[in-house]
Amino acid sequence: MPDDQSVDYSLLGEQLDALLKDESDPLANAAMFVALVFDALPDTNWLGIYVLRDDELVLGPFQGKPACIRIPMGRGVCGGAAEQMTTFRVSDVHDFDGHIACDPASRSELVVPLISDGRLLGVLDIDSPQLARFSDHDQEGVESLCELFIKSLERKNGAAIEFI
């Protein structure tokens, strides 16, 4: 397998669109999004959405072991990415000050904020048991999938999205 672990994000985007196009329920679509991406990314042990509720991140649809339910803004990798509204890619979570260890097997992490119309809805969090699992290719690919997911929510629900 090549270094980028060979995920075809363009094909994955087409599959995502096909899966979400006929359904308007945001919870069902979020669950489908998470299941599709987790299944497609090799060497990942956890993938899920934390939804922003009252200035706190709350666990939403996910795949993997049970995880922490609430993450305050600014805490951990998820809270950092949410607060700064930018992707956090961490090669070694042991070197990240304040990392929240939900699954001790996790060694690297990618967190992408979910933003609609300038408003933070939550984050997509992906963990891997491999050091430096996520490449530039993965980051760009996962960010593009998150945009497709958000666009699909917007098409069905308008600008004011209540996620779940």
- Residues interacting with ligand SME, by CB under 6 A? 46, 67-68, 71, 76-79, 99-100, 102, 106, 109, 125, 127
In contact, 38 and 54? CB cutoff 8 Å: no
The DSSP line for 121-155 is EEEEEEEESSTT---HHHHHHHHHHHHHHHHHHHH
36 or 110: whose CB is closer to ligand SME?
110
Any residues with CB less than 8 A from the CB of 103 and at least 6 apart, and which? 45, 46, 64, 65, 67, 127
Residue 31 CB, shortest distance to ligand SME, in Å, is 16
Residue closer to ligand SME (CB basis): 36 or 78: 78
**CB of 125 or CB of 138, closer to ligand SME:** 125
Q: Are strands 70-72 and 56-64 parallel, antiparallel or unpaired?
A: antiparallel
User: CB of residue 158 vs ligand SME: minimum separation in angstroms?
Assistant: 30
Least distance (Å) between residue 32 CB and ligand SME: 19
Residue 101 CA: distances (Å) to CA of 71, 104, 122, 143: 12, 6, 19, 23
114 within 8 A of 87, measured Cβ to Cβ: no
Taking the least distance from each CB to ligand SME, the nearer of 67 and 120 is 67
For ligand SME, the closer of residues 17 and 39 by Cβ is 39
**In the bound complex, what is the minimum distance in angstroms from residue 97's beta carbon to ligand SME?**
10
Shortest-Cβ-distance residue relative to ligand SME: 76
Give the whole-angstrom CA distance, residue 138 versus residue 28. 24
For the bound state, the minimum distance from the C-beta of residue 10 to ligand SME, rounded and expressed in Å, comes to 27
Residue 29 backbone dihedrals phi, psi, to 5 degrees = -70, -35
